[in-house]
A and B are shown apart, each in its own frame.
Chain A
Amino acid sequence: MISFLKKDSFSRDACLALLSWVFLIVVFFIIPDPGVHDIIQKVFILGLFALSLNILIGYLGLIAFGHAAFFAAGAYTLGLFLQSDFIKIYNFGSFSIPVAILLSILVSGVLATFIGAICIRLKDIYFSFLTLAFQMVIYSIILALVDITGGDQGLMGGFPKPPFLGIDLSKPFDFYAFTIFISILVILVLRQLIESPFGYGLRMIRDNAERPAALGFNNQNHKLIAFIIAGSIAGLAGSLQALLDVGAYPEWAFWAKSAEPLFMILLGGMNTFLGPLMGALIFEILNDFVTANTKYYGLVLGLVILSFVLGLKQGLLDWMVIKFKESRNKNAQNK
């Protein structure tokens, strides 16, 4: 039993994941407020987006500034596929939604392969600028292809959401349970990846790139695989967001959208696995609370970020983990 619950083991993580999902399902019925449900599902969608970016920032030390390109690619792929005639001809019928989501992940993954293969050859700020430039090329393409994407209006007209396996995503509960289930599942898999030899390889490249290279490690391959995984998960987050909003908007590909997961990573912490998810929670609550009370959202968000940058100097979850370890060490010494 004790080995079953050992720290960082898959079985323990899987148990925790299942418990969290059940807990959030219970929350749905205890708190019947649709506003709360909306915040929780958005936290998971944005959390996926931020967690995926943190593979690059936290574990590889690469400041990607064009991550929203993959988010938008996922969103537009899902929307365009569900709107297309293709679906009617080949008749995916009730499996349209799972196929659309898988296709979104695939398309953003392929895009990430292409962009990543070029970007990872550059370092530091040059890497950041190249990711930014690629993202803005994609933003410009979305704006230019008015006939397909709807240009600056976004993907309008909605799309059907046929039920599958008894899940009807047009019902609030089904959407809530489905989104959170998928998100937790991906977070669980990502956790295994980060704690695997592959994940430790990423940290090694971040801390001293020459050492793993000297050991015969293929740094560039590792970076590219991490980039593709990060892009694919961002695409999944984008497709879930498109399902929620029944549309896709060009702002999702704009560079300011890439700043959002950076905020979440800063607010929650980049050194703790779930830090970015915590950051998404802070970001979403702040968003909800501030926009309900004032239209000067940027002012408040700016001041919060400023206080984190200059005051706490780390994310909230990072800070809590350090405090917790300190107090545990103190207790151990007292005994």
Chain B
Amino acid sequence: MELVAFLECLTSASCIISQTAGGLKIGMLLFLVASGLTLVFGVLGVINFAHGALYMLGAYFSWQVMNTTGHFGLSVLLGAIGVSIVGLMFERGLLNRVYNAELLIQILLCYSIVLILDDLVMIIWGDEFLSSIGIPEIFQVPPLFVLDAIIPPFHLAIIGLSLLLAIGLWLLMTKTRFGHLVRAAAVNPNMLEALGINTTVIRASVFVLGSFLAGLGGALASSIGSVVSGMGNSILVESFIVTVIGGMGSIGGAFLASIIIGMARSFGAIAMPLFTDGIMFLIMVLVLILRPHGLMGDKK
């Protein structure tokens, strides 16, 4: 415990602001990935253990496009779209065979894909760390100073983009016909089938949307960190934490939980540098004991 450092931070405005901004950046990137996971669980009822591997693919794809074309926006977009295509193939080719199978079979199917993809990217791109694709030029400016706190503009851009996506996702789910169908498919797919709606298409499109979000998260992550095989494993576990804390299947809950986890990581790094992960898991344990269905999940 570094209590002194933690108290010092809490009494300094600049430290609070920079840690909050850092926590929001972590939290919003996490939300991008975790919202895809919770969406897929909500509709398909499958815990997609391969979600982290899709995130990793997004990072590799965008790295590849960046090193071929040199265009940042294109590399992020193509990275996310490429992952959506892989997601579609995975759902149509493999995952739809185990929708009615036991939990263990679903987990193992997804986990086998993780093992395969982790090695495939090593075969294609080598097992060295690939250097980050860097941030676009317009953000390569001196950081902002707010009350002496240093805030890189690119982090603000990531937070803004994620917020926009969160709002877009919310509008999609609550205001459009597609959103209504998706939510209906989550509650009663048989009734939807009986009404002449093709639930197969709905499931596939939800999985594609989930993959897109994972891919986008990975592509953005490749701009601020290096790219390596297995990088999806830690984000996968963090997405589990967010999904559980927020309530499984709840996108609003995932948003709230992402901010909580982002802050826990950011401030936890000062208070207990060696136990930052432990704090997140303790929060997860507490939520599961006190409110197993999460902060905003449905009681079933």
Contact = CB atoms under 8 A, between A and B. Distances in A.
B159 to A, nearest CB: 27
Interface residues of B, number: 40
Which 6 A-B pairs rank lowest in CB-CB distance, beginning with the nearest? A140-B278, A302-B115, A302-B116, A299-B119, A298-B115, A305-B112
A291 to B, nearest CB: 13
A296 interface: yes
Interface in A28-69: 57, 63, 65
B288 A122 contact: yes
Mostly, the B contact residues are helix
22 contacts: A122-B288, A126-B288, A126-B292, A128-B103, A129-B240, A129-B284, A136-B237, A136-B281, A137-B278, A137-B282, A140-B275, A144-B272, A144-B274, A265-B104, A296-B123, A301-B112, A302-B119, A305-B108, A309-B98, A309-B108, A310-B94, A313-B105
B103 A309 contact: no
Max chain B CB contacts within 10 Å: which of A65, A118, A132, A133? A133
A63 B244 contact: no
Nearest to A303: B116
Contacts of B94: 306, 310
Given A137-B285, A143-B274, A256 B108 contact: no
Interface residues of A, number: 43
B115 A299 contact: yes
B122 A63 contact: no
A309 B109 contact: yes
A133 B285 contact: yes
Contact of B108 (A124, A125, A266): A266
Given A129-B244, A310-B97, A302 B108 contact: no
A170 to B, nearest CB: 34
Contacts of B98: 309
Given A263-B108, A305-B108, 18 more contacts: A124-B103, A126-B293, A133-B241, A136-B278, A136-B281, A137-B285, A140-B275, A140-B277, A143-B277, A256-B233, A266-B108, A296-B123, A297-B119, A302-B112, A302-B113, A302-B119, A306-B116, A310-B109
Interface in B251-300: 272, 274-275, 277-278, 281-282, 284-285, 288-289, 292-293
Interface string A276-312: 0000000000000000000011110111011001100
